[in-house]
């Protein structure tokens, strides 16, 4: 072989290798086989469900994925509420969504890397592996502390990215995920109670050191974190979380099975947070944080079959079907722990609706209800709702359609 042919062969090899690296290993749709007994909407075909996800993703991406001028960075737009352009919670949603939609979206890999570069450009003061929780429209972070739920979703998305595109390219997703997971364990987990801290800014002397946000409990994420790091402490976090949340159900919401936005007094006798403890008069209600609980909890059963998950969401499913009389038009936008609709909330909130679809999937008894919730959810138009409602809607549509796969 002459030298020129050899050089051409080498160039072809590197070109082909690079091309292969860009190709998603798990292109959308995946039609995942969830745990035995898990159901999906059966009033439509898998292709129809996939198309609904694709259509909504296209709209969501156009409105909420923004490019930072002069940099190879993208962010999930917070719509400048309170002058903020991005929050880490939304960045985490977006990174999971984009990784799962690769294959349908040919630009997914580039967008994902741009989203990750934005994360790296906004670290917290304690760790370069965690993301500052919010940035103003000028791109500067509001402060240098994190929001734990955002970091957890970003870390999980990196595991998805590793499985989707491999870690031999520009970003070593697996190593980045491990570093982030270790930082989460170090700075965002309470090592006395093994509960989840609100932020890396919470210190042992802070008033909210023994406080947690119920929707930060993401057991299926934690199981993936343990697998990749071999850190058995994640078992302690999982077990402590299930004990805490199931205990809250039993003591404070025996009929509805609801969990409050915030739980305090974790080192003594846990209880719902008092009014205005952190965010609103409804900090001790099933409100705009806890509305994600049915999704976060049920996903663990869908992926791993954890019976603790099913036991908890079965209570919620029985209550929501009873209180609405199996009519989705009776769904409320917030409840007391007794299961009573919050006053002055006479509107539809997709962030409450969508998680009930995910929780319904755990038992065939909910088939007709699941079908109704899906139909109700997909009928709402993106233009009528904000970043939070639309992002949770899309995330949960991906799960309910059978296209949410486990990052192993």
Residue 75, H or E segment? strand 74-76
Listing DSSP states for 93-125 in one string gives HHHHHHHHTBTTBTTHHHHHHHHHHHHHTSB-S
Structure tokens at 361: 């999937």
Q: Establish how many alpha carbons lie within 13 A of residue 273's alpha carbon, considering only the half-sphere containing its beta carbon.
A: 28
Alpha-carbon distance of 341 to 352, in angstroms, equals 12
Q: Which residue has the tokens 């969401």?
A: 313
Decide: helix, strand or coil at residue 246. helix
Distance CA 206, CA 210 (A): 8
The phi, psi pair for 124, rounded to 5°, reads: -85, 175
Contact 174, 167 (CB under 8 A): yes
Token digits for 169?
């390219």
Both tokens of 13, joined, read 């090899």
Q: If you search the block for the tokens 């929501």, which residue do you land on?
A: 320
In the residue annotation, 162 being an active-site residue is answered as no
CA–CA dist 334, 279 (Å, integer):
15
DSSP three-state, residue 310? helix
Half-sphere exposure of 263 (CA within 13 A, CB side): 31
Rg (CA), the chain: 21
Residue 280: CA count within 13 A, CB half-sphere: 11
Q: Hey, is 168 helix, strand or coil?
A: coil
Beta partners for 286? 335
Tokens of 206: 């802070």
363 within 8 A of 314, measured Cβ to Cβ: yes
In whole angstroms, give the CA distance from residue 239 to residue 306: 11
Which residue of the set 74, 105, 113, 149 is catalytic? 149
Residues catalogued as catalytic: 149
């Amino acid at each position: 072989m002459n030298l020129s042919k050899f050089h051409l062969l080498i160039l072809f090899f590197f070109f082909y290798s690079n091309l292969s690296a860009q190709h998603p290993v798990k292109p959308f749709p995946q039609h995942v086989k969830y745990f035995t007994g898990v159901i999906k909407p059966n009033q439509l075909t898998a292709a129809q469900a996939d198309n609904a996800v694709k259509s909504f993703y296209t709209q969501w991406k156009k409105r909420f994925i923004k490019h930072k001028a002069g940099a190879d960075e993208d962010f999930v737009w917070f719509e400048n509420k309170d002058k903020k352009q991005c929050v880490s919670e939304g960045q985490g949603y977006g990174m999971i969504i984009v990784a799962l939609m690769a294959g349908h979206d040919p630009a997914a890999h580039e967008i994902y890397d741009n989203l990750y570069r934005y994360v790296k450009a906004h670290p917290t003061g304690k760790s370069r592996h965690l993301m500052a929780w919010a940035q103003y429209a000028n791109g500067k972070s509001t402060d240098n502390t994190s929001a734990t739920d955002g970091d957890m979703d970003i870390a999980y998305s990196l595991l998805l990215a590793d499985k989707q595109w491999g870690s031999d390219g520009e970003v070593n997703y697996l190593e980045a995920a491990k570093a982030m997971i270790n930082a989460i364990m170090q700075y965002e987990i309470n090592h006395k109670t093994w509960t989840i801290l609100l932020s890396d800014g919470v210190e042992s002397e802070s008033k909210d050191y023994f406080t947690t946000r119920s929707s930060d409990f993401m057991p299926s994420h934690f199981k993936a974190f343990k697998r990749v790091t071999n850190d058995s402490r994640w078992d302690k976090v999982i077990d402590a979380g299930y004990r805490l949340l199931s205990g809250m159900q039993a003591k404070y919401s025996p009929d509805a099975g609801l969990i409050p936005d915030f739980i305090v007094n974790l080192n003594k006798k846990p209880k719902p947070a008092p009014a205005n403890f952190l965010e609103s008069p409804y900090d001790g209600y099933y409100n705009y944080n806890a509305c994600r609980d049915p999704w976060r909890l049920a996903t663990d059963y869908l992926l791993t079959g954890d019976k603790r998950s099913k036991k908890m969401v079965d209570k919620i499913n029985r209550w929501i079907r009873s209180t609405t009389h199996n009519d989705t038009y009776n769904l409320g936008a917030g409840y007391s722990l007794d299961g009573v609709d919050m006053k002055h909330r006479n509107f539809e909130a997709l962030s409450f609706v969508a998680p009930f679809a995910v929780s319904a999937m755990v038992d065939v008894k909910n088939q007709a209800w699941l079908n109704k919730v899906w139909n109700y959810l997909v009928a709402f138009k993106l233009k009528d709702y904000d970043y939070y409602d639309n992002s949770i809607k899309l995330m949960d549509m991906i799960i309910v359609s059978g296209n949410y796969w486990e990052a192993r």
